[in-house]
Amino acid sequence: MGQFNTKNGFIYALLRWSMEKTQYLNLIEYFKLAGSRLSKQTEPNAKRHLYISNAVDFYTILKWLLILSLWYFKVNAGWIHWLVWYMIITNLHTFIFYFLWKPSTNIDHDRSKKRFLKLILAIFFSDLCFAYMYNIFYFQEFTWDQKFWFPEQSIWFSISNSVAGNYDKVKPLTEFSNTISMIQYMITFLFVGVIISKATPDNKP
């Protein structure tokens, strides 16, 4: 792992090297490491897996609560902007890394359903982050329907925008808001791309 092997081309080698080197910039890896150490053993594997799974679930709950709390208190500090973008990027990175780059070789029926649940949570977490940013960070960059609750509009706009839908109550007002909207759509496209890639049979010659 981490070796720069160009047998499949240098573009793939560079991407693989980047994915593996940036893995530990993701906070979830340290929650998994803590879960592994709390298990105090590597055998049986089921025991270790239990601690790691609970650590991942704990991290998932924490990040959802963090965004919801920031939104509730309407936090708009500059460093929070960076934090939310970090969470969006690492959310996508985790999904790509574990669903495509480093897939599990031991997936039973329950784990398969759990992976599907994680997929849904990852997509909706991304939508939640963008909804929060539209409503709090970039409110002035959009036009809003003054008759309806702004947070509700931002949620529906975020969901609609992620699937290239059309939500008439909110419209991008500037080039910057169009760019942010397009970034969200591209992130959703990457999620869908990974799903399609996993669903496509690997027909080896």
The mean pLDDT values, 10 residues at a time, for the chain of 205 residues are: 66 82 91 86 67 93 98 97 97 88 68 84 96 97 94 97 90 96 95 77 53
Q: Token pair of 46, please?
A: 């089921």
pTM for the full model?
0.88
Q: Token pair of 136, please?
A: 């709090």
Specify the amino acid at residue 146.
Q
- Cβ of 72: how many Cβ atoms within 10 Å? 10
Q: Token pair of 32, please?
A: 């998994």
Task: Report d(CA 64, CA 117) in Å as an integer.
Answer: 15
Domain ranges of the chain: 10-198
- pLDDT for the residue numbered 4: 59
- pLDDT for the residue numbered 205: 45
Instruction: Point out which residues pair with 171 in neighbouring strands.
Output: 143
- pLDDT for the residue numbered 164: 82
